[in-house]
Amino acid sequence: MQHTIDLLKFYDEVTIIDEPLDIDLEIPHLAYAEVKKKDGGKALLFTKPVDSKSGKHFDTPVLMNLFGSYKRTELLFGRSVEGVADEITNLLHMKPPASLKDKFGMLGDLFSLKNVFPKRLKGEGACQEVKYLGDAADLYDLPILTTWEQDGGPFITMGQVYTQSLNGEMANLGMYRLQVYDKNHLGMHWQIHKDASHFFDQYQRAGQKMPVSIAIGGDPLYTWCATAPLPYGVNELLLYGFVKKENARTVKSLTTPLYIPEDVDFVIEGWLDPSEMKIEGPFGDHTGYYTLEDPYPVLEVSAITHKKDPVYLATVVGKPPLEDKYMGWGTERVFLPLLKTNAPDLIDYHMPENGVFHNLILAKMQPLYKGHAKQFMHVFWGAGQMSFVKHALFVDENAPDLTDYAKLVPHILNRFEPSKLFISEGIVDALDHSSPEELVGGKLGVDATGKVVAHHVELLEDAALLEEVQKAVAEATALKQYMRETASPITVISIDKSRPVRECFDLLEPLKKHLSIVIFVDTVGNDLDNAYMLVWRVVNNMDAQRDVFIADTLVGVNGTNKNAIDGFDRRWPDDVTCTPSVVEGLKQKKLWDLDVELEDKYRL
């Protein structure tokens, strides 16, 4: 970690903040603003974190926004992210050598794989220079942050969680948020679909306690690997070795049988009693909404160890764009070759940041036969973590680059037909709040691989169209049309909802000559001129089975917050927003320097 900070200083990629700042809201709020600057801002090193509630001053600095730009992400990889993907492609397509030169080339590729497997060292590592065992271990000695006003408490947000199967044959490295309950208990928020949760099931059936070791810091690539969507049973430290071209050097934890990298900054060791569950949350999450309370396993801490001069690594999650945008970009690029093994005619894919990963994916493919795109939808919705994706839009090889939204969106809308929508059902992320029931919800696929369609919408100006809409739907308060030049313009209507949105949609049928795609959003909390946040809102709020309406050539989407009017009986969470008094305090200290236009754009 110290090497990383030196690297960031060399490239002018870190800002040192020596002003004492509170681990309760102040530090994370400032990091939240920083990453929203152009190109992700800089990494922030807070040298004097304090806890105003207890009066404690910490010697341990807090590092945030580490991965928060494309440049920093590649610096931390130590090489081109695309180059890693190319190497994986070469390995997957390795052929028998046809010449002596090919044989030597293959030997070089295979020889490099010797660095993939983690090394187990004897003795202790740098991460165990300072030890606190048993009751001496105190989580409150770490500058663990409370990020949002409604959070259930302090949370560890960049923890590398090391676990193993009951028989010890499989090891896993994952990243799960960890709530601090007291000085020696943590809530383990691993969702039911995750590998660590599968291991936990084994211990639960056997009636045995489960060992867990949590590392913080060290080589930043450990942290990225913890987020990697590798197949079940594959140790993520293998990916570390592949990317770094050197083995991860691990040592045994002091009080659990688990091995952790010897150079991490902190290690928190402990055991889970499978019979004990406790309410975890709420927590402002990367969806931009709060994740509600739920019971999760509890870790009883048995030891805390750290380096002599550790650095506490943390991140902040909330409304996009955030640090996970850049970490996700690395994942997206590296795992494209592996996704192609199940979908060989896939050319590229992209997860827009305001789709918060699992809510929206764009994919480019080479369609070879009728229904090919629909086949790909099934592949995506059945492939590991890709199965959490709610909405997938497919284009063919002639489409613009998937990141060139200004060209891509008209391309899609000029090929859009209601008959090419595919609505299904499948698993959804535990963080999804819009599905009628937890963990299962609607999926929407859009096949835009066809030819340009000849829809003819009789366009009206926004004011004239709003006047007509309000005659039919009294709840409508404002209206904006997007992509009017395309075959399928998008009309966004804000409403003060007083009845099911489906009824409002049905009342628009007489106006269908003026409409193609209609999206309803709430008046409160939305700006119809802010397309970036409208995308974020709608893909968060919709469940395709409930919220997509089709009437001949007219398509409607209900992007409003759901309540009893919609027959929705789950609790709807609040948006994640900054605490105004904290922002004002940071401005008075002349630390908050985010442009007001960006504050408004990203709905802080």
**SS3 of the chain: helix, strand, coil, percent, to 5:** 30, 25, 40
Q: Are 345 and 368 in contact (CB under 8 A)?
A: yes
For the stretch 131-187, pLDDT in tens is: 999 999 999 999 999 999 999 999 999 999 999 999 999 999 999 999 999 999 999
Looking up tokens 């676990």 gives 163
For the stretch 346-390, pLDDT in tens is: 999 999 999 998 999 999 999 999 999 999 999 888 877 888 999
Cβ atoms < 10 Å from Cβ of 39: 11
Percent of the chain at pLDDT > 90 equals: 84
For the stretch 457-479, pLDDT in tens is: 999 999 999 999 999 999 999 99
Selecting from 3.30.450.20, 3.40.50.300, 3.40.1670.10, 3.40.50.10680, what CATH number does the domain 462-566 have? 3.40.1670.10
Residue 14 pairs in a beta bridge with: 43
* 324-447 and 462-566: identical CATH topology: yes
Read out DSSP for 167-180? TS--EEEE---EEE
Per the model's pLDDT, the better-predicted residue between 288 and 96 turns out to be 288
Q: Note the pLDDT of residue 112.
A: 58
| Amino acid identity at 449 | T
For the stretch 549-580, pLDDT in tens is: 999 999 999 999 999 999 999 999 999 999 99
Q: Note the pLDDT of residue 232.
A: 80
The yes/no answer on whether domain 2-80+109-313 falls in CATH 2.30.110.10 is yes
Q: Are 260 and 251 in contact (CB under 8 A)?
A: yes
Read out DSSP for 480-538? EEE-TTSSS-EEEEEE--SS-HHHHHHTTGGGGGG-SEEEEEESTT--TT-HHHHHHHH
- Residue 367 structure tokens: 């369609």
Q: Note the pLDDT of residue 106.
A: 46
Q: Note the pLDDT of residue 30.
A: 98
Task: Give pTM, 2 decimals.
Answer: 0.94
Q: Note the pLDDT of residue 82.
A: 87
Percent of the chain at pLDDT > 70 equals: 96
**Is the pLDDT assigned to residue 103 strictly greater than 70?**
no
The mean pLDDT value of the chain amounts to 93
Q: Which residues contact 341 (CB under 8 A, 6 or more apart)?
A: 92
Per-domain residue ranges for the chain? 2-80+109-313, 324-447, 462-566
Classify domain 324-447 by CATH number: 3.40.1670.10
Mean pLDDT of 93-117: 60
Alpha-carbon span 153 to 140, nearest angstrom: 12
| Amino acid identity at 578 | C
Alpha-carbon span 537 to 559, nearest angstrom: 7
